[in-house]
A and B are shown apart, each in its own frame.
Chain A
């Protein structure tokens, strides 16, 4: 054991040197290109290009939830003819022993979700159309979706108008129970419209709005909500421990019940500016919905070309949201002559409560060849830290998470 540890210690510097050498080789491909954005588009596309990519991402947080997500995508495109088709496959492996699960005396569970999708785009002229469809399968959840999005370039390509519509049909069930015995249906209509404006030789602005109409009962069939007497409510503080909650709560623990319709609206502004060697991207999204939630999401990203082959892009994202109108950290029952009255709307989903999330991360992209070559392969690495503050929730007041992703992208002409 000790010898193995010593060997590992000995190997570590060599491995670090090798890693640095690879990065240095990639970075030293050629000096950072100055004003040559056209170089990437300078080579006129001829014939079809086969594209393939794969990503392995991991997520782990302090609430004992881990998610491993391998994704693969393949497609073929012909920029001269103006078409593209592709397909993707994704697997989510979720393992969870979160405080919500522990509080119901349940043990850790694992679940696998499979997602397959196809998409395509056609438009040799100023009018383009894209369409996509996907299916997501879990033991207790089936989701089907499809949509299309036309776009139209006008004013000599200075303005691009875009519309989109997508339809989703979800079947929500319970594990080990056939959908024919128990299921709920959730239908979604997602509509978006927007336009991008060329503000100058280096800047583009996007303004857009979207609406999502959801119809159906999306209450989680496993989520039980603790109930309290009004007299004990004030003794349950923010972040109250499971033991305290269980000591003070009533015997009733009804299932979650959410409103059966939700209308979401959002507006988004995005500004991109390209300097000689870097791209700044700033984005703001404002959100409101019929459940009474308000939110703001601000994102900034600065992609720096360290060389022709290497791009480093640090980013920062801040999301702040208010609670849904029916959110109660300490749901209380009322007692009448007819008996105990439980609130008709109730949830323990702290993502429907007030929260603030800060994400800081960085992407490193290394082209393993010249960008204009007939065969292009890139390695993409991502590391991000996520901190969420739950401002009015039971059990926990914060959650910290690490997200990592390793991806390969290839294009072969």
Chain B
């Protein structure tokens, strides 16, 4: 394992440890439950498809088949 990989692993473990230190009670989670705090993409299906076919480094999603307007 390289030095960088070891440092990365240590940083990741430290992060997980620190993240575990924060305790948020259920009654404090009003903001976390707001609809805008979702992890899903904010882009709709049309825009996602445009990105998938127009950016070679984005494709790979299962919706990125063809329909790209290219030839």
- Interface residues of chain A, those whose CB is within 8 Å of chain B, are 35-41, 55, 57-59, 65-67, 69, 71, 88, 90, 92, 94-96, 98, 100-101, 104, 106, 111, 113, 115, 134, 136, 138, 140-141, 143, 145, 147, 155-156, 158-159, 166, 168, 170, 172, 188, 190, 196-202, 204-206, 212, 214, 220, 222-223, 262, 264, 270, 272, 274, 279, 281, 287, 289, 293-295, 297, 301, 303, 311, 313, 315, 319, 321, 324, 349, 351-353, 355, 357, 363, 382, 384, 386, 388, 401, 403, 405, 407
Contact = CB atoms under 8 A, between A and B. Distances in A.
Given A100-B71, A222-B71, A297 B58 contact: yes
B59 to A, nearest CB: 8
Contact of A136 (B34, B59, B63, B71): B63
Contact of A205 (B19, B35, B71): B19
B42 interface: yes
Where chain B touches its partner, the secondary structure class is: loop
A141 B32 CA distance: 42
Interface residues of B, number: 43
Contacts of A101: 71
16 contacts: A40-B33, A57-B46, A69-B45, A92-B49, A94-B69, A134-B62, A138-B67, A155-B20, A201-B32, A262-B60, A274-B32, A274-B37, A303-B36, A319-B51, A384-B47, A401-B50
Nearest to A265: B60
Nearest to A196: B39
A106 B69 CA distance: 13
B3 interface: no
A104 B57 contact: no
Interface of B: 16, 19-20, 22-24, 28-37, 39, 42, 44-47, 49-51, 53-63, 65-71
Given A199-B22, A279-B34, A407 B57 contact: no
B45 A204 contact: no
A169 to B, nearest CB: 10
Contacts of B69: 65-67, 94-96, 98
A141 B36 contact: no
Contacts of A206: 39
